[in-house]
């Protein structure tokens, strides 16, 4: 899925709710550039234009982000307990807004690639820093859930990216060895995860040409679109 299209807007809603509630409590609102601190880029018109592939928003779990958000509340003068509750409430508000709009879309050329994989008999899995139930829902919104045999969210393992746990679990459920698996991802944390799991290939997606090879030092190869991928038989 187009990461920034969904999670950039979710992040905006999360922070807007949290900031509004801070002001109701006579506390200073969040900094206007808080989402940029988390890794989101904006253009001259103030529209979301990209994201840092090594940022908390792109790599972190929801719990990671809520901890960062609670810390902002604590810095603003809330108790840690109050800050944690407010962060959780803001997450609910952001989730509900996302659910209402179903803000999700596929990246270009993803569907033809999935169809090629299906025709070739490849089994596919999703590993994500998102929670499993939410990831399943987003796949359903996009109409691509049937292409994937396995979906592993960070809530199903002890350690998320960049640790190998999610790839290892997905491989067990797919019934394949990690050494026969290619991992495709859009952060170097994905690439580190692939390498630590012993995957056959770590393929980075640099949609929009924002990072280049230097942004993915752990990748075997960096592509800018799914149209660059071809399936072939290894003999």
Q: Is residue 207 part of a domain?
A: yes
Same domain, 8 and 29: yes
Q: Is residue 172 part of a domain?
A: yes
For residue 92, give the 3-state DSSP assignment: helix
Q: What is the CATH number of the domain that holds 217?
A: 3.40.50.1000
Q: Is residue 39 part of a domain?
A: yes
Same domain, 92 and 164: no
Q: Is residue 217 part of a domain?
A: yes
Number of structural domains the chain divides into:
2
Tokens of 43: 């253009």
- Domain of 195 in residue numbering reads as 110-228
- The string of DSSP codes covering 104-148 is --PPTTHHHHHHHHHHHT---EEEESS-HHHHHHHHHHHT-GGG-
Give which of 204, 126, 198, 123 is closest to 163, Cα–Cα: 198
Q: Which of 72, 101, 130 is the last residue of a domain?
A: 101
Q: Which of 62, 78, 101 is the last residue of a domain?
A: 101
Q: Is residue 40 part of a domain?
A: yes
Same domain, 150 and 207: yes
Same domain, 179 and 155: yes
- Looking at residue 209, its pLDDT comes to 64
Q: Is residue 224 part of a domain?
A: yes
Residues forming a β-bridge with 151: 126
Same domain, 125 and 80: no
Q: Is residue 235 part of a domain?
A: no
Residue 149 to residue 172: CA distance in whole angstroms: 12
The burial class, CB within 10 Å (0-12 / 13-18 / 19+), for 185 is: buried
Same domain, 200 and 123: yes
One pLDDT digit (tens) per residue for the chain, 235 residues: 888 888 889 999 999 999 999 999 999 999 989 999 998 988 888 888 888 888 898 888 999 999 999 999 999 999 999 999 999 999 999 999 999 999 899 998 999 999 999 999 999 999 999 999 999 999 999 999 999 999 999 999 999 999 999 999 999 999 999 999 999 999 999 999 999 999 999 999 998 666 667 789 999 999 999 989 888 776 6
Same domain, 97 and 136: no
Same domain, 115 and 91: no
Give which of 175, 176, 137, 177 is closest to 153, Cα–Cα: 137
Residues 134, 151, 206: CA angle, nearest 5 degrees: 85
Same domain, 47 and 140: no
Same domain, 74 and 150: no
Q: Is residue 234 part of a domain?
A: no
Same domain, 221 and 203: yes
Same domain, 21 and 97: yes
- Looking at residue 91, its pLDDT comes to 96
Whole-prediction pTM: 0.85
Q: Which of 51, 80, 101 is the last residue of a domain?
A: 101
- Looking at residue 50, its pLDDT comes to 84
């Amino acid at each position: 899925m187009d990461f920034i299209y969904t999670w950039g807007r979710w992040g905006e809603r999360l922070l807007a709710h949290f900031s509004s509630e801070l002001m109701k409590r006579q506390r200073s609102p969040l900094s206007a550039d808080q989402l940029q601190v988390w890794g989101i880029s904006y253009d001259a018109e103030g529209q979301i234009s990209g994201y840092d592939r090594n940022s908390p928003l792109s790599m972190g779990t929801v719990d990671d982000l809520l901890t960062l958000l609670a810390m902002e509340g604590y810095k603003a003068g809330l108790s840690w307990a109050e800050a944690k509750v407010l962060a959780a409430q803001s997450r609910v508000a952001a989730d509900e807004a996302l659910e209402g709009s179903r803000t999700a879309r596929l990246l270009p050329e993803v569907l033809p690639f999935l169809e090629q994989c299906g025709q070739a008999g490849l089994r596919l899995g999703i590993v994500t820093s998102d929670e499993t139930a939410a990831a399943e829902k987003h796949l359903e919104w996009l109409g691509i859930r049937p292409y994937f045999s396995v979906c592993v969210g960070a809530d199903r393992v002890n350690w998320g990216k960049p640790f190998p746990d999610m790839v290892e679990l997905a491989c067990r459920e797919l019934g394949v060895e990690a050494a026969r698996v290619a991992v495709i991802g859009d952060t170097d944390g994905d690439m580190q995860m692939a390498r630590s799991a012993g995957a056959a290939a770590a393929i980075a997606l640099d949609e929009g040409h924002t990072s280049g090879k230097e942004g993915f030092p752990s990748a075997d190869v960096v592509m800018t679109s799914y149209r660059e991928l071809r399936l072939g038989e290894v003999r």
